[in-house]
C-alpha cells in the first residue's frame, strides 16, 4: 500500500514537473507582457492561433479520417470485386509471376485498423494544424480587420486592400487544402497500385485500358472533383498576382500579361472546373478518359500558352514603349504612392550663386552647426577619454538638436552603457553579471562643430555623475537599465533591488552603489519564482540569499528585442537614438514601419514595395516602459493592426512635448525613398522608359574607393524660410554610364523635422545646363591640389594615419559650401585618439585646406586667401573677384607663423 502511494506520488511529481517545464515559457512571457501593460499583445495571438488551429485541425482530421476510413472500405470492396477471397486480406506484390502463397500475407484485423487510422489522422492533423497556425493566424486577423485604401488599380478595379489583406488569406486556404488533398490522392494511388488493385492494359487513352474497381473509381471521382475545383479556384485567383510580379519591362501586369497570361489563367481555371464536372460524371460512368482528357487539355493549353506568351513578349519587345506605355504609367503612379513620393514638394534651386563672406555671415546659424565632429572618430575619442572603465562602451553616436543657452544647436551624444561582453572577460560570476553590474551610466555629448585646441571634441556633458557645462542639458536620472548593449547573453536577465547592491559608478577608490526602483520587472512571488526557475533552468532563485521578495527580474532589456517581442508586426529602424529630455530623464526613440510586398504595380526595394513610418516607439532607459505612438493615421496598415490590437497604440498628440521636439525623420525610410526617387522622380512615361533622366546618389571617397554618401542631419535655413531648422538631406548626381562619369550635382532632397513641418519632403532641383560641383568633384580637387595633397601626405608619414571625415555639402543662398574635417592619429591600434588637424573649405572650384580647429577662422582665411568677393551677387550676375597682392599674402602667412611660434613658446613656459 505504502509502495503504491510512493509510486503514485513520484509519478505525480514527475508529471507536475513536466507540466511546469512545458508551460513555463508561456507563463513567464505572459507575466512579462502583463508587466509592461500589453496583455492583449500576448492573448490575442494565442486566441487567434487557437481558433485557426482548431478549425484547421477539424478540417484536416475530418478529411484524413474520413478518407482513411473510406479508403479501407474501398479497399475491402475492391478486393472482393477484383478477386474475392473469403475473409482474408491479400497484398498483391508487383511480381505477378510469384506463387499464390508468396502473394499472401497475414490477414489484417479490420476492427483494429480503424482506431489506428483515427490515431494517425489525429497526429497528422495536429502537425498540419500547427503548420497552418504558424503561417495563417495573422492572415486571418488581417482578413477580418481589413481596411480599405480608397485606391483602385485599373486592371480589375479592385481596392489595393484586397491584394494586401484578402488575397493572402485566400491563397493560404487554397494552398492548405490543395496540398493536403493532393497528398491523400498521391498516397491512395501508390497504395492501391502496390496492392495490385489497379491494372493497365496497353494505351491508357483507350477505353477499358485502365482496370479500377468500382469502389475505388467512385472514391477517386469525389476526391478529384474537389481537387480540380480547388485547382480551378487557385488558378483563377492567380490572375491577381500578375499585378505584383514582373515578366516584361513593367513591374506589374504588362501588355503580355493583360492580353495573354490573364486570359490564359481564366481558360485554365475553366478547364479545371470542367475536369471537376467530368470527375463527378466519372462517378456514374466507368470511363477513365473523362479524367484524362481534361488533364491532357489542361497541359496542352498550358504549354501552348507558355509558347504564345514568349512569342507575344518577343513582339512586344520590338515595339516595347508603344505597347507598354499605359502600364508604365501605372507603375510610376503606384510606386510613387507606395513610397509616399507624391507628397514631395519640388522646388528649383540655382546652386551656382557666387557666395561671399557676407552670405556666410548671414547664415551664421547654419554655419555654426556644420558638423566638424565626425561620428566615427568621435566614437573612438569618447571610448578613450570617457570610457572610464573597461566595461563601459559607447555603442553609437546619435545626432539630434537641442536649445542650449537660447541657441538652436546640433548635438552629437552617446550613452555610456555597460557591455556584458566586456564583463564576461574579468567579472564572470553570477552575482556580478546579474546583480552588481546591471546598468550603464550617463552620456557624453558635444556640439557639432566645437573642437578644443588639442583637436578633440569639446564636450558639453561628460564624466560620472554627468557634468553639464551648458544650460539646457541636465541629466537627473543617468542610469541606463535598457539600451542597445543590455543583451544579458549569458543568463538572459539581471535582478534589481537585491541585498547585493548594484554598482553605480566609480568614486575614487570605492564605488557608488544603487538599488533599482524602476516600474517594470517580474516580482519574485512564490509562483513566479517556481516558473522562472523552470524557464531559466536554474535553482539559483531559491539558493541566492541576495534575492528578496522586493527584488525584480529584468529580461529582454535590449530595446530592439524588447519592442520587437511586443510588436513583431512592424519593421524597426536600425538606429534607435537616445534623447536627454527636458525633464532630466533619458528615453530611447525607435522608428517603426508598416510595410508589405503586395502593393500592386509598385516596384520593390528588397522584400517590400510599400512602407510608411507610421509609429514612433518610446522606451524609458531607466524604467523600461514602452509606448507606441501612431504618426500616420491615414496608413491603412496601421489602422488594421490597431483594430487587431485595440488599446496598444496612442495618438501622436499624447507624446510629451519634451520628446516630440526631438523626433527625427528616420534614415532608413529616407534611404529607401531616395533610392526609389533615382528613377521615379520622372513622371513622363517616355523619359522614364528611355532612362533619359536617371540619377545617382552622390559619391564620396573612403579608403581610396568611392561609395554612396549617407544622408546627414544638419541645422540649416532652407531656401525661402526665415529660420534655421533640423534637416536630413542627401545630394544627387546624374547617373553615370560606362566610362562617362558624371559627378555634378543635379538635385538634393531635404526632410524637415521641426514642429508642424515634421515629415515634409522637399526636392530641390538644380539647373541641368550648369555644372555645379558635387562632393566627389570636390574630393578630386582636394587630391589634385598639390599644396593640400603634399600636406596630407606629410601628416601621414612617421607612423601617423590620416582620417578624412565626411564631406558635408551645405546649401546657402543659392550656392553650396563644402566642409571636410581632417583627422590624424597614430597608426598603432588601441592607443591613439583621432585629433582634428585641419579643415577643408570649398566653394565652387576653390578649395583651401586650413590648419585650424575653428570653422569661423577657416571661413575668414578662405575668403582672404581665395580672393572671393565681399558683396553678394545673384545667380547669373558676375562680380570681379578681389585681387590679393601676392606679397601681402606671403607677409600675412609669415606673421601667422610667428604668432603660432609665440603661442608654442608660451605653452612651453607654462609647462
- Residue 73, pLDDT > 50, answer yes
**Dist CA 732 CA 44 (whole Å):** 46
> What pLDDT is recorded for position 280?
92
Find the range with the poorest average confidence among 332-346, 477-491, 682-696, 869-883.
869-883
Of 855, 771, 764, whose CA–CA distance to 805 is shortest? 855
**Dist CA 400 CA 397 (whole Å):** 10
Find the range with the poorest average confidence among 119-128, 474-483, 571-580, 763-772.
119-128
Residue 617 pairs in a beta bridge with: 590, 628
DSSP-derived secondary structure letter, 615: E
Residue 844, φ and ψ in degrees, nearest 5: 55, -125
Give CA 154 to chain center in angstroms. 30
CB 792 within 8 A of CB 371: no
Helix (H, G, I), strand (E, B) or coil at 848: strand
Place of cell 516602459: 625
pLDDT tens digits along 280-322? 998 888 877 888 888 899 999 999 999 999 999 889 888 889 9
**Dist CA 511 CA 496 (whole Å):** 17
- Residue 874, pLDDT > 50, answer no
Q: Measuring CA to CA, how many Å separate 729 from each of 369, 590, 629, 682, 747?
A: 14, 20, 25, 20, 11
CB 64 within 8 A of CB 121: yes
> What pLDDT is recorded for position 561?
96
pLDDT tens digits along 676-700? 999 999 999 999 998 888 999 998 8
- Residue 574, pLDDT > 70, answer yes
From the number of C-beta atoms within 10 Å of its C-beta (0-12, 13-18, 19+), residue 86 rates as exposed
Of 269, 262, 261, 263, whose CA–CA distance to 306 is shortest? 261
**Dist CA 166 CA 174 (whole Å):** 13
Residue 534, φ and ψ in degrees, nearest 5: -70, -40
Find the range with the poorest average confidence among 89-98, 358-367, 375-384, 771-780.
89-98
Sequence-distant (≥ 6) Cβ neighbours of residue 200 within 8 angstroms? 209, 210, 211
Q: Left, alpha or beta for 9 (phi > 0: left; psi -120 to 50: alpha)?
A: alpha
> What pLDDT is recorded for position 91?
42
Q: Cβ atoms within 10 A of the Cβ of 93, count?
A: 14
pLDDT tens digits along 131-158? 778 878 999 999 999 999 999 999 999 9
Find the range with the poorest average confidence among 434-438, 470-474, 777-781.
470-474
CB 349 within 8 A of CB 766: yes
Pairing of strands 626-630, 649-651: parallel
**Dist CA 499 CA 525 (whole Å):** 17
Residue 468 pairs in a beta bridge with: 461
Band the pLDDT of 867: cuts 50, 70, 90.
low
Residue 386, φ and ψ in degrees, nearest 5: -125, 0
**Dist CA 537 CA 532 (whole Å):** 8
> What pLDDT is recorded for position 895?
56
Between residues 329 and 127, the one the model is more confident about: 329
**Dist CA 773 CA 785 (whole Å):** 16
Q: What is the SS3 string spanning 728-750?
A: EEEEEEECCECCECCCCCCEEEE
pLDDT tens digits along 428-465? 889 989 999 999 999 999 999 888 888 888 999 999 89
Q: Measuring CA to CA, how many Å separate 360 from each of 356, 725, 751?
A: 7, 17, 23
C-alpha cell at position 665: 525623420
Stretch (H or E) spanning 816: strand 815-826
**Dist CA 236 CA 256 (whole Å):** 17
**Dist CA 213 CA 248 (whole Å):** 49
pLDDT tens digits along 369-397? 999 998 888 888 888 888 878 788 899 99
pLDDT tens digits along 392-413? 889 999 999 999 988 899 999 9
> What pLDDT is recorded for position 889?
47
> What pLDDT is recorded for position 869?
54
Q: Measuring CA to CA, how many Å separate 68 from each of 53, 63, 79, 216, 562?
A: 21, 8, 16, 13, 47
From the number of C-beta atoms within 10 Å of its C-beta (0-12, 13-18, 19+), residue 526 rates as exposed
C-alpha cell at position 543: 539558493
C-alpha cell at position 520: 517594470
Pairing of strands 695-697, 457-462: unpaired
- Residue 871, pLDDT > 80, answer no
pLDDT tens digits along 627-646? 999 999 999 999 999 999 99
CB 813 within 8 A of CB 872: yes
HSE value, Cβ hemisphere, 13 Å, CA-based, for 635: 22
CB 580 within 8 A of CB 413: yes
CB 385 within 8 A of CB 377: no
- Residue 102, pLDDT > 90, answer no
Helix 667-680 and helix 320-338: axis angle, to 10°?
Answer: 160
Find the range with the poorest average confidence among 177-186, 335-344, 418-427, 740-749.
418-427
Helix (H, G, I), strand (E, B) or coil at 908: helix
Between residues 131 and 100, the one the model is more confident about: 131
Sequence-distant (≥ 6) Cβ neighbours of residue 139 within 8 angstroms? 168, 169, 172
CB 744 within 8 A of CB 774: yes
Pairing of strands 493-496, 552-555: antiparallel
Sequence-distant (≥ 6) Cβ neighbours of residue 447 within 8 angstroms? 373, 404, 409, 410, 411, 412, 458, 460
Average pLDDT, the chain: 85
pLDDT tens digits along 542-564? 998 899 999 999 999 999 999 99
DSSP assignment string, 231-242: HHHHHHHGGGGG
What percent of the chain has pLDDT above 90?
51
Q: Measuring CA to CA, how many Å separate 801 from each of 451, 510, 826?
A: 19, 38, 6
Q: Cβ atoms within 10 A of the Cβ of 676, count?
A: 22
Band the pLDDT of 878: cuts 50, 70, 90.
very low
**Dist CA 189 CA 625 (whole Å):** 59
Helix (H, G, I), strand (E, B) or coil at 349: coil
Between residues 493 and 862, the one the model is more confident about: 493
Q: Cβ atoms within 10 A of the Cβ of 85, count?
A: 12
Helix (H, G, I), strand (E, B) or coil at 101: helix
Helix (H, G, I), strand (E, B) or coil at 247: coil
Residue 688 pairs in a beta bridge with: none
DSSP-derived secondary structure letter, 165: I
**Dist CA 465 CA 477 (whole Å):** 10
Q: Cβ atoms within 10 A of the Cβ of 881, count?
A: 12
CB 842 within 8 A of CB 778: yes
From the number of C-beta atoms within 10 Å of its C-beta (0-12, 13-18, 19+), residue 150 rates as exposed
- Residue 801, pLDDT > 80, answer yes
Of 618, 622, 660, 576, whose CA–CA distance to 477 is shortest? 622
Q: Left, alpha or beta for 787 (phi > 0: left; psi -120 to 50: alpha)?
A: alpha
- Sheet order of strands, 443-451 included: 398-404, 407-415, 443-451, 457-462, 467-468
pLDDT tens digits along 811-826? 999 999 999 999 988 7
Amino acid at each position: 500500500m505504502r509502495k503504491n502511494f510512493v509510486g503514485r506520488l513520484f509519478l505525480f511529481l514527475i508529471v507536475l514537473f513536466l507540466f511546469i517545464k512545458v508551460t513555463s515559457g508561456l507563463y513567464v512571457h505572459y507575466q512579462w507582457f502583463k508587466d509592461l501593460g500589453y496583455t492583449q499583445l500576448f492573448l490575442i495571438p494565442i486566441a487567434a492561433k487557437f481558433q485557426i488551429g482548431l478549425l484547421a485541425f477539424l478540417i484536416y482530421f475530418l478529411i484524413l479520417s474520413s478518407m482513411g476510413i473510406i479508403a479501407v472500405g474501398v479497399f475491402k470492396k475492391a478486393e472482393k470485386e477484383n478477386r474475392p477471397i473469403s475473409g482474408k486480406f491479400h497484398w498483391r506484390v508487383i511480381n505477378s509471376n510469384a506463387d499464390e502463397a508468396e502473394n499472401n500475407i497475414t490477414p489484417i484485423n479490420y476492427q483494429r485498423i480503424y482506431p489506428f487510422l483515427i490515431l494517425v489522422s489525429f497526429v497528422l492533423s495536429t502537425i498540419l494544424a500547427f503548420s497552418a497556425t504558424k503561417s495563417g493566424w495573422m492572415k486571418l486577423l488581417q482578413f477580418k480587420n481589413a481596411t480599405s485604401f480608397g485606391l483602385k488599380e485599373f486592371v480589375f478595379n479592385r481596392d489595393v486592400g484586397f491584394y494586401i489583406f484578402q488575397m493572402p488569406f485566400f491563397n493560404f486556404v487554397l494552398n492548405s487544402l490543395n496540398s493536403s488533398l493532393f497528398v491523400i490522392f498521391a498516397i491512395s494511388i501508390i497504395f492501391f497500385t502496390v496492392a495490385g488493385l489497379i491494372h493497365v492494359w496497353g494505351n491508357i487513352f483507350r477505353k477499358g485500358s485502365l482496370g479500377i474497381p468500382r469502389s475505388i473509381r467512385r472514391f477517386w471521382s469525389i476526391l478529384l472533383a474537389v481537387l480540380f475545383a480547388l485547382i480551378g479556384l487557385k488558378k483563377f485567383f492567380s490572375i491577381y498576382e500578375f499585378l505584383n510580379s514582373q515578366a516584361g519591362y513593367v513591374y506589374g501586369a504588362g501588355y503580355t500579361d493583360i492580353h495573354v497570361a490573364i486570359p490564359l489563367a481564366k481558360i485554365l481555371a475553366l478547364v479545371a472546373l470542367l475536369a471537376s464536372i467530368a470527375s463527378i460524371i466519372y462517378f456514374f460512368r466507368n470511363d477513365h478518359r473523362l479524367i484524362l482528357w481534361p488533364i491532357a487539355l489542361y497541359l496542352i493549353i498550358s504549354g501552348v500558352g507558355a509558347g504564345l506568351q514568349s512569342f507575344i513578349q518577343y513582339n512586344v519587345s520590338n515595339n516595347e514603349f508603344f505597347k507598354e506605355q499605359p502600364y508604365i504609367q501605372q507603375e510610376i503612379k503606384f510606386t510613387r504612392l507606395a513610397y509616399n513620393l507624391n507628397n514631395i514638394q519640388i522646388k528649383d534651386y540655382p546652386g551656382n550663386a557666387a557666395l561671399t563672406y557676407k552670405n556666410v555671415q548671414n547664415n551664421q546659424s547654419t554655419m555654426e552647426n556644420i558638423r566638424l565632429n565626425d561620428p566615427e572618430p568621435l566614437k573612438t575619442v569618447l571610448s578613450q577619454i570617457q570610457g572610464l572603465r573597461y566595461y563601459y562602451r559607447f555603442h553609437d553616436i546619435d545626432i539630434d538638436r537641442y536649445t542650449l543657452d537660447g541657441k538652436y544647436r546640433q548635438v552629437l551624444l552617446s550613452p555610456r552603457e555597460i557591455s556584458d561582453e566586456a564583463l564576461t572577460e574579468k567579472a564572470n560570476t553570477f552575482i556580478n553579471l546579474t546583480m552588481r553590474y546591471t546598468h550603464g551610466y550617463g552620456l557624453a555629448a558635444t556640439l557639432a562643430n566645437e573642437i578644443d585646441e588639442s583637436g578633440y571634441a569639446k564636450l558639453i556633458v561628460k564624466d560620472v555623475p554627468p557634468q553639464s557645462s551648458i544650460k539646457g542639458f541636465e541629466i537627473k536620472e543617468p542610469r541606463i537599465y535598457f539600451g542597445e548593449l543590455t543583451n544579458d547573453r549569458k543568463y538572459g536577465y539581471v535582478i534589481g533591488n537585491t541585498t547585493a547592491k548594484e554598482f553605480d559608478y566609480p568614486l575614487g577608490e570605492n564605488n557608488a552603489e544603487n538599488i533599482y526602483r524602476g516600474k517594470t520587472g517580474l516580482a519574485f512571488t512564490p509562483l513566479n519564482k517556481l516558473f522562472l526557475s523552470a524557464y531559466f533552468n536554474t535553482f539559483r532563485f531559491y539558493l541566492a540569499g541576495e534575492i528578496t521578495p522586493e527584488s525584480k527580474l529584468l529580461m529582454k532589456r535590449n530595446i530592439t528585442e524588447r519592442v520587437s517581442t511586443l510588436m513583431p508586426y512592424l519593421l524597426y529602424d536600425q538606429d534607435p537614438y537616445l534623447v536627454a529630455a527636458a525633464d532630466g530623464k533619458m528615453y530611447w526613440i525607435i522608428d517603426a514601419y508598416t510595410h508589405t510586398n503586395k502593393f500592386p504595380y509598385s516596384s520593390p526595394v528588397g522584400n517590400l514595395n510599400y512602407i510608411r513610418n507610421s509609429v514612433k516607439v518610446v522606451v524609458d532607459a531607466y524604467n523600461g516602459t514602452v509606448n507606441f505612438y501612431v504618426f500616420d493615421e491615414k496608413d491603412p496598415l496601421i489602422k488594421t493592426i490597431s483594430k487587431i490590437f485595440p488599446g496598444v497604440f496612442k495618438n501622436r498628440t499624447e507624446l510629451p512635448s519634451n520628446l516630440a521636439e526631438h523626433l527625427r525623420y528616420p534614415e532608413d525610410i529616407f534611404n529607401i525613398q531616395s533610392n526609389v526617387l533615382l528613377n521615379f522622380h520622372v513622371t513622363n512615361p517616355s523619359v522614364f522608359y528611355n532612362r533619359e533622366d536617371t540619377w545617382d546618389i552622390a559619391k564620396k571617397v573612403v579608403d581610396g574607393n568611392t561609395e554612396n554618401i549617407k544622408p546627414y542631419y544638419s541645422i540649416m535655413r532652407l531656401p525661402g524660410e526665415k529660420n534655421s531648422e533640423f534637416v536630413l538631406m542627401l545630394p544627387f548626381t546624374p547617373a553615370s554610364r560606362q566610362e562617362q562619369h558624371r559627378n555634378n550635382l543635379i538635385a538634393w532632397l531635404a526632410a524637415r523635422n521641426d514642429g508642424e513641418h515634421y515629415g515634409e519632403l522637399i526636392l530641390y532641383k538644380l539647373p541641368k545646363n550648369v555644372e555645379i560641383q558635387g562632393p566627389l568633384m570636390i574630393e578630386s580637387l582636394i587630391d589634385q591640389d598639390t599644396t593640400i595633397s603634399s600636406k596630407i601626405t606629410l601628416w601621414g608619414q612617421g607612423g601617423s594615419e590620416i582620417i578624412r571625415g565626411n564631406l558635408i555639402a551645405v546649401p546657402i543662398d543659392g550656392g553650396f559650401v563644402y566642409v571636410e574635417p581632417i583627422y590624424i592619429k597614430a597608426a598603432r591600434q588601441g592607443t591613439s585618439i583621432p585629433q582634428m588637424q585641419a579643415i577643408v573649405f570649398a566653394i565652387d572650384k576653390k578649395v583651401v585646406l586650413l590648419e585650424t580647429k575653428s570653422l569661423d577662422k577657416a571661413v575668414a582665411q578662405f575668403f582672404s586667401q581665395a580672393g572671393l568677393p565681399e558683396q553678394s551677387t545673384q545667380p547669373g550676375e558676375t562680380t570681379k573677384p578681389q585681387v590679393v597682392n601676392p606679397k601681402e599674402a606671403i607677409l600675412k602667412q609669415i606673421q601667422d607663423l610667428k604668432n603660432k611660434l609665440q603661442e608654442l613658446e608660451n605653452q612651453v613656459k607654462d609647462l
